[in-house]
Structure 1
Amino acid sequence: MNIRVMEWFTGRPEDISAEKEKPIFSAINKTKRREESLYLSETGLEGDEQGDQKNHGGAEKAVCVYPWEHYAYWSRTLEEPLPHGSFGENLTVQSGVEEDVMVGDVFRWGKAVVEISQPREPCYKIAKRHGIKKLPLYVRETGYSGYYLRVRQAGIVEKNQPLRLEARTTSLSVAEVNRITYHSEDPGEIEEALECAALSEEWKSSLHKKLNKLKNKH
């Protein structure tokens, strides 16, 4: 399996709040990089920063990936053309939709090695960027979330080099994690997802909370 990098982006925090609002610092408005190669460290592409380091970035969310295939749907649904990078991703990719990639998939990308750690959880900053309050809800409903990569080996990466699948250790797709997290009421499914060693601890924490709520219901 090869995932093609169509475009890549990095950003620096800026205030995206409206006038008279409390400041909201975010790097969701990323800039397309024209370079053919960049250094990928354990915390992300060179030049990329996060405005909220508690909820974004870090080792488990070093690179945000979004599938190109979803853009046609969003352009139709939102009735406006969306350029690549509109979801604040670092990589707009082809042939890597959520159904086809598994949590824990390991890819060789140039001199680096990366691994899928979790889906991308849509937050209010996506809504803020596009002026659509329900956009995070729409992302959860469709499962068109994108996902994050952790960096197992840092190194120079090149835009024209695909992410080449080197190892698949689980059968838990990113789409399945989204479905279980947002739509399942089956404790067994949640427990099965929690057994996935490659799933990030932050995502597991959310699943534990959901599981406890379900068990307290019964």
Structure 2
Amino acid sequence: MEIKTLSTGMPTKMVYGDGKEILTGIRKQSTEEAHLKREGFQGDGVGDLKHHGGLDRAVCVYPYEHYLLWEKELGHSLSPSTFGENLTVTNMLEKDVCIGDIFRVGEAVIQVTQGRIPCSTITKRTNEPALLKMLVKTGFTGYLCRVLEEGIVRNNSRITLLEAHPKEVSILFGNEVYFHRPKDIEGIERLLSVDELANEWKEALKSRLHKLTISR
């Protein structure tokens, strides 16, 4: 496991389509080091506070290996942090990383909380309308983390797994249930059995489970 790119950036106006504008933090820039606080990296922010950010979503991680797949599918190269992630990493795929896993990254300690829900800002940035659907279809969305210990993270910092969650509920499994199996009661219950799951996902899945069980 290693960091390929460390990226931060505050929200700026981005022009897309036929001259439309959006305030977004997706266009992050590579940096050598940044202080990671509970709320996220210093010098980093989001444009849409309703759907992004918060303590459960303080850090966005995306596997570097997927870049090769998307570049092949799209037929062109992608810039670093195309998906607005803070950490582009190797050997930390969604199928191998589990909700509740704890990692040390440089001086900081983070815990995986949920899969990332891709938004249309990705397609607006890349001008690739099909990309959003491909992210959801494959489950290669990346994932979000909370900060357990603050500290400095550098672009060459080591990543170490401190504690693997005993429930072993992978991000890829969570994405499969969340996006593609909305009526999978057993799958929903398995996700909800992980106390460390992000509160937003807990509430959404509890509501989904309630509707499914009362309709029986």
TM-score using structure 2 length: 0.92
Q: Check the 8 A contact 1:99/1:174 in 2, yes or no.
A: yes
Q: Check the 8 A contact 1:106/1:115 in 2, yes or no.
A: yes
Mapped to 2, the partners of 1:132 and 1:205 lie a distance apart of 31
| Equivalent in 24, 32, 39 of residue 43 of structure 1 | 39
- The residue number in structure 1 matching 2:172 is 175
Range 8-17 or range 190-199, more displaced: 8-17
Q: Check the 8 A contact 1:12/1:49 in 2, yes or no.
A: yes
Task: Tell me: CA distance 1:12–1:187, structure 2 relative to 1, closer, same or farther (3 Å).
Answer: same
Structure 2 residue 12 is matched with structure 1 residue 14: yes
> Unpaired runs of 5+ in structure 1?
none
| Equivalent in 124, 129, 136 of residue 132 of structure 2 | 136
Structure 2 residue 144 is matched with structure 1 residue 148: yes
Mapped to 1, the partners of 2:131 and 2:211 lie a distance apart of 26
Structure 2 residue 100 is matched with structure 1 residue 104: yes
Cα displacement (A) at 1:177:
0.4
- The residue number in structure 2 matching 1:63 is 59
Q: Check the 8 A contact 1:68/1:84 in 2, yes or no.
A: no
Write out the 4+ residue segments of structure 1 that deviate beyond 3 Å after TM superposition.
Answer: 17-21, 212-218
Cα displacement (A) at 1:158:
2.3
| Equivalent in 92, 112, 115 of residue 116 of structure 1 | 112
| Superposition CA RMSD, Å | 1.7
Mapped to 2, the partners of 1:217 and 1:135 lie a distance apart of 35
Mapped to 2, the partners of 1:135 and 1:210 lie a distance apart of 27
> Unpaired runs of 5+ in structure 2?
none
Mapped to 2, the partners of 1:101 and 1:108 lie a distance apart of 14
- The residue number in structure 2 matching 1:89 is 85
Among all aligned residue pairs of Structure 1 and Structure 2, give the percentage whose two residues are the same amino acid.
38
Cα displacement (A) at 1:188:
1.4
Mapped to 2, the partners of 1:212 and 1:196 lie a distance apart of 18
Letter aligned with residue 93 of structure 1: V
- The residue number in structure 2 matching 1:25 is 23
Letter aligned with residue 23 of structure 2: F
- DSSP-derived class of the 1:16 partner: strand
TM-score using structure 1 length: 0.91
Deviations 1:92-131 (A, max 9, x none): 1001000111111111122211110111110111111112
Mapped to 1, the partners of 2:205 and 2:135 lie a distance apart of 18
Letter aligned with residue 205 of structure 1: E
- DSSP-derived class of the 1:210 partner: helix
| Equivalent in 32, 49, 56 of residue 53 of structure 1 | 49
Mapped to 1, the partners of 2:60 and 2:41 lie a distance apart of 10
Q: Check the 8 A contact 2:103/2:163 in 1, yes or no.
A: yes
User: How many residue pairs align between the two structures?
Assistant: 213
Q: Check the 8 A contact 1:7/1:159 in 2, yes or no.
A: yes
Q: Check the 8 A contact 1:118/1:199 in 2, yes or no.
A: yes
